Structures are given as structure tokens and as C-alpha cells.
Amino acid sequence: MTDNNELELDPGATPHDLLNLATEWLQYSKGMTELLAELVHESDTVNPQQMAMGLEAVGKMTGTGLQCVSAAHARMQWAEAKARKELKLV
């Protein structure tokens, strides 16, 4: 992770790789959300600090997944633009 808490993505990663990574992070986020919901449903009292930390983790995991999706989209668009340019040159 960099100073701004973003995942440093492999410059050689394909869009497919990035989408797989996004799916993984979003599954982590979903699991944590379900765990927090279960905690709230089953607990008489909820520790606000622990809940806040859990929700922050969900936000970071979701943000990382979105970062991967955005990078995959950008790389697909770049490849498409490059292919169109090469077709015009041929």
C-alpha cells in the first residue's frame, strides 16, 4: 500500500487479473459486512469503537476492489484505443 492507502497494482497485470483481484477484495468486504451485521443482531450492546473499525475496514476493502475495477477498465480502454490506432496505420 502507498502513503494514500491505495494498493500498488502490478503494472503487468492484465484486466482479467485485476478483475479477479477486485472480486477477491469485494468478497472480503461482503464477508466482513455480514459478520458485522450478525454481531449487531446477536449483541445486546455494540462497542462503537470496534464497530467503527469494522466499518472502516469494509470501506477500505470496497475501495480497493473499486480501484482494481477502475484500473482494469482503464487498461481495457487503453488496449482498445491502441488496437484502433494500429488498424488505422495498417
Grid cell for residue 29: 468486504
Q: What does the CA dihedral 66, 71, 74, 78 come to, rounded to 10 degrees?
A: -160
Each residue of 16-37: pLDDT tens digit?
999 999 999 999 999 999 999 9
Map out the domains of the chain as residue ranges. Answer: 15-89
Alpha carbon distance 54, 60 (integer Å): 10
Q: What are the angstrom distances between the C-alpha of 46 and each of 8, 37, 49?
A: 34, 11, 9
**Residue 10, pLDDT score:** 92
43 pLDDT above the threshold of 60: yes
Cα 28 to the chain's mean position, in Å? 10
Each residue of 67-81: pLDDT tens digit?
999 999 999 999 999
pTM: 0.83
Sign of CA dihedral 39, 55, 51, 1: positive
**Residue 6, pLDDT score:** 78
